[in-house]
Amino acid sequence: MTMDYYQLSMAAEFVRQQWPTARPRAGLLLGSGWDAAANFFTKRASLPYSAIPGLGASTVAGHSGQLHWCEASGVETFLFQGRRHFYEGAGWTPVGVPVFLLRHFGTQLLFLTNAAGGIRDDLRAGDLMVLTDHLNLMGSNPLIGPHEPCAGPRFPDLSQVYVPSLGKRLERIFQALEIPFRSGVYAALTGPTYETPAEVRMLRTLGADAVGMSTVPEALLAHAAGLKVAALSCIANTAAGLQAQPLTHADVIKTAQATLPRLRGVLENLWKELPDELISTQPVA
């Protein structure tokens, strides 16, 4: 199921018609359990995902499925409260909509978040991990299909998907707030099953520090299309085989929710000091 660029342009047209004066300078996508982080922003208007062509309502508990046109520290932001995943079975188009909406509006910065299982020994439930790189183990790629120039080059370079200066800025904020943090490599599998213990051992051998079912598609799409990407994982559990209890989505959400006060500090401070060169807007497409 290749991405439907016509639907993507319909999504952009629709949002532009609804909010003709919107000029978002940053995008934020909230992962499982971090829905309530939308409250840290001042909202101007909201649209349900179900109203946006190509996006559609989220089918996953803990993902509200609302696009908010909002603001924090004077930075106009499109906040995606909840994400569409490849495992939901609707193909890549809903996964790509947030990226292409931002691109259409000339936004340069996309901050992605997710809940993940911790693989590296020092990762514990409730830790926050800044992504330095990723492993795409989804067995697919949202850019498979006829080449569309709006998506970037035919063969996008991925040697540095996550902007190091943003990672460093995040690290400085964590340090200033005295919030412990980790950095690491995130591996994306399609899900919706969690991994087997053998798969987790394989992922560790492959160099993964954490594992999840998202983020990589949006990150590579955004990077290929010329956006700057930063990403943060909430380590919601230690991965399968590394903890005694079976994994449940309800526990993932509960652990992520418990980290919200720390996320708030990080987002508020980051939004206060986003560098101008990352949040200047390009002309609307």
Kindly list the residues in this chain that would bind ligand HPA in the complex (CB under 6 A): 115-117, 194-195, 211-213, 236-237, 239, 247, 252
Report the distance separating Cα 64 and Cα 57, nearest Å: 8
CB of 47 to ligand HPA, least distance (A): 27
Q: Quick one: the chain helix, strand, coil %, rounded to 5?
A: 35, 25, 40
The residue among 133 and 268 lying less far from ligand HPA, judged by its C-beta, is 133
| Nearer CB in complex with ligand HPA: 105/194 | 194
Residue placing its CB nearer to ligand HPA in the complex, 51 or 247: 247
Nearest distance in Å: CB 136, ligand HPA? 14
Q: Cβ of residue 69: shortest distance to ligand HPA, in angstroms?
A: 28
Q: Which is nearer to ligand HPA, 58 or 237 (CB)?
A: 237
Produce one character per residue of 90-102: b if its CB has 16 or more CB atoms within 10 Å, e if not: bbbbbbbbbbbbb
The H-assigned helical ranges of 60-163 are 93-104
Nearer to ligand HPA, 7 or 214 (CB): 214
The CB density around residue 74, as the number of other CB atoms within 10 Å, is 10
The residue (of 43 and 249) whose beta carbon lies closer to ligand HPA is 249
At its nearest, how many Å lie between ligand HPA and the CB of residue 216? 12
Nearest-approach distance from CB 25 to ligand HPA, in angstroms: 30
Q: Measured at CB, which residue is nearest to ligand HPA?
A: 117
CA distances from 186 to 67, 116, 214 (A): 25, 8, 10
Give min distance, CB of 11 to ligand HPA, in A.
26
**For residues 124 and 205, is the Cβ–Cβ distance under 8 A?**
no
Centre a 10 Å sphere on the Cβ of residue 259 and count the other Cβ atoms it contains. Answer: 22
Q: How far apart are CA 50 and CA 56, in angstroms?
A: 4
Q: Which two tokens stand for residue 263?
A: 């996320």
